[in-house]
Structure 1
Amino acid sequence: MTLTSTLSLQLDENGTFSESLDLDQFKLPFSGLSNYVMCDITMKENGTGVLVPSSCYMSITNRLAILQLDHARIGSYYNKVHLPFSATLTDEKGKPLASRAIKVRIDGADVKCLTTDANGRAETVIDTSSYYKANITLSAVYEDNDLCYGRDEYSSYYINSARSYPYDEITLYRSFSKSQSHIRIRPLQDLLSCDKRYSMQVDYLFTEGGVGKGATTTSIKYI
């Protein structure tokens, strides 16, 4: 069933508008802890009557915190060298939550417990040398029971389930190396500038089969 609500607003001098949407009218069932709404927006130009349509998707949740993994920094693969981990925790308004405990898990098992900094970020490196599966699931969870309750009561299943907490995950695939040599260049956080020098951090594991017998030096190029 599709429920709709219509608003008619005037743009300000900057061509923008803001308005609060009363979600109570939609009677959203939060048994799964999340919902979404689609917004169809049409702007009508005064004088010409020209109509300009647009649309957007908004996720609605009763969690009072949002946890997101930094997928770009983590990447899609893991190997025998350390895996970089980074996640950000914010409140329902997008403001960072500092000094909060974040659990890091691989395939559901806890591997580290981190504390967010002033920017709501938690960063570390994870030793994945003991993992051999074709793929692993890296996840982060913020175990906090702060929820925005509506009229309906929540069952103990949703309150106690791991997925009832702010949570994010990513599937990582094992990279193959015939020589069992591996290398990973840790990505930089900031945008790169052509007129500056940067220090790169490289994690590596070289075998004799990869670099040759008797090798004492190697050259790593970042392209």
Structure 2
Amino acid sequence: MSGFNHRGRTSAGASPAHRERTTLMLPRSAVVTPVMIAVTALGASAAVAAGPPPHTDQSHRVSAAPVTLGPAAITLQATRTAYPTSAPCAGSPGVIQLTVPLAGTATSADARLTGALTMETHVLLAPGKGIGRSTGTVVIKDPATGREKVRAQLLQLETQGAAKFDGMLFGEVYDPVAGLSRLTALYSGHVDIDPGFLVGNVGADTPVAPHDSGVIVSGIC
């Protein structure tokens, strides 16, 4: 019997025309061309050259610098550089807003925290009650080069008619060797309203003892 044997394969005696028809009946996916072989080989070569996918597990990473925590203590001494500007809060009798610029020195056992000091505070004050709330900026610079060493924001409460303050500093410390550090500190101080001399201790209880207080501010000035 010519053509196909009982297992479906072409027998040796099949005619050329029959073998040609059998080839044409094969599904398209079963036909392998020289172009397909070349593309497959090229893709395999590219995968080998690219190497394995990058390792995404971050557990092996090593910090660029070790993490350290240390105490921060600064003594601030500053004098008002201009008379405070004041403005009443509209529709809020008995409440005023003051802007007070000061300049002086910051001293510390930590060289990163010493230098020329400037402060600018914005005080929301109720003089009749003797309490207030202040925000502002504290900057410490190298007096020789003018390089900024510390920049921190302040948030403080005023008591005793704004002569006493207690609050928090939070900001950044810049050092060319140690790099960038974060500063968070509680502090207290006293201001002689006239001539406007300030003494403050950051991260310490002397020379001005801390005083716990609380103020609620409602509305916007």
TM-score normalised to the size of structure 1?
0.22
Structure with greater strand percent? 2
TM-score normalised to the size of structure 2?
0.22
Structure with greater helix percent? 2
- Return the index of the structure with the highest Cα Rg: 2
Q: 1 or 2 for the larger relative contact order (CA 8 Å, sep ≥6)?
A: 1
